[in-house]
Structure 1
Amino acid sequence: MSQATKRKHVVKELLDDFVKPTEDQHIMRVLGSNGNNLHEAVTGSGERYLVSMPTKFRKNLWIKRGDFVIVDPIKEGEKVKGEISFILYRDHIQYLRKLGVWPAGFQEDRTSGDRSEGTPKERSERKTKEEDDSDSEDDDSDLFVNTNRSTVHYSESEEETDEEDEEKEDEGRA
């Protein structure tokens, strides 16, 4: 099987399948990557583990800090205590919450994907509706702000400009 075909099947399986974790498996949140396909993750009860990314996901799928995963425990592992079996996206999380199997430790947490609920079409319709509701077209609050540059605020006082204008008028009279 070619690499492209393998990638297609892995991604299709991940996006289309809705899995319920078994009694052995844990739902965990990724805290960060330690390199070498190892990730630090925490359970709903607060236990931290190192988990490994299986070969089928490597170079095909990526996870980042804050993502949720289903982990198979490794009994003989000393440092690495689990292997990622499934990566959870927003739809999977909503499905697990409806089933009531979502850990209580993660109930109050919302990822950025959870905050923007709805299909992409609904989100774009809401966004255009919000844009239509805005009163001022000169509002710059939605512009990109480059945080790599220091912000400089220029202001002119009216006193200085008035004095300069009067000086120019005096020179013109003389």
Structure 2
Amino acid sequence: MSQATKRKHVVKEVLGDFVVPGENQQIVKVTGSRGNNLHETVTAQGETFLVSMPTKFRKNIWIKRGDYVIVDPIEEGEKVKAEISSILYKDHIVYLQEHHLWPEGFVIENKPGQQKDEENNTEEKDQEEASASDNEDDLFVNTNRCTYQYSESEDDEDSDVQSEEDTK
């Protein structure tokens, strides 16, 4: 099987299948990468340990800090106590929450009931950003270009007003 075909099947499996954790499996949150395909995770109870990424996911699927995965325990592991069996994306998490299989220790910000609150918050943020957009101090400055100072002198405006008054 070619590398492209293998990648296609692995990605299809990860994105398409809604996996339910088995009897020995558990859902954990990735807190960081330790290199060499090892990731530090935390359980819903707060226990931290290392998990390894299986060969089929390497160079095909990437995970980052904050992602959720389902792991299989490794009996002989001292530091590395589990191996990743599947990676959970937003759709998978919603599916698990609907079936009441999501651990109580993990709280997700994007619950269906909170969408209205988020819409209200986004309107307030938009208003704040609109008032903050008047200030141009935070704009990107390209240091590779010459900067020009444009200023209108008040003296020119005052002289124009005075000359109009003199003509009357």
TM-score (norm 2): 0.68
Deviations 1:73-121 (A, max 9, x none): 1111001001000000000000000110100011x333xxx489xxxxx
Tell me what 2:50 maps to: 50
Q: CA deviation at 1:31?
A: 0.4
Structure 2 unpaired stretches of 5+: 113-118, 144-148, 160-168
SS at match of 1:30: strand
Aligned to 1:105, the other structure's residue is in SS state: coil
The match for 1:109 is 108
1:100 counterpart letter in structure 2? H
Matched residue type, 2:60: N
- Percent same amino acid among aligned pairs? 59
After superposition, the CA RMSD in angstroms is 3.5
Q: Which amino acid aligns with 1:42?
A: V
Partner in structure 2 of residue 97 of structure 1 = 97
Q: Deviations over 1:41-91 (max 9, x none)?
A: 101111101000000000000000000000111111001001000000000
| Residue in 2 that maps onto 1:65 | 65
Structure 1 residue 23: deviation in Å? 2.0
Provide runs of 4+ in structure 1 moved above 6 Å: 163-167
* C-alpha distance in structure 2 between counterparts of 1:115 and 1:145, whole Å: 34
Are 2:21 and 1:21 aligned? yes
Whether 1:9 aligns to 2:9 is yes
What CA distance in whole angstroms lies between the structure 1 residues aligned with 2:28 and 2:158?
71
Q: How many residue pairs get matched?
A: 136
Q: 1:115 to 1:79 in 2, by over 3 A?
A: same
> Which runs of no fewer than 5 residues in structure 1 stay unpaired?
117-125, 168-174
- 1:77 is matched with 77
Other structure's SS at 1:61 match: coil
Identify if the C-alpha distance between structure 1 residues 145 and 79 changes in structure 2 by more than 3 Å, giving closer, same or farther: farther
Taking structure 1 as the reference length, what is the TM-score of the superposition?
0.66
SS of equivalent residue, structure 2 residue 22: coil
Residues 1:60 and 1:100: Cα distance change in structure 2 (over 3 Å): same
**Structure 2 CA distance, aligned partners of 1:24 and 1:73?**
7
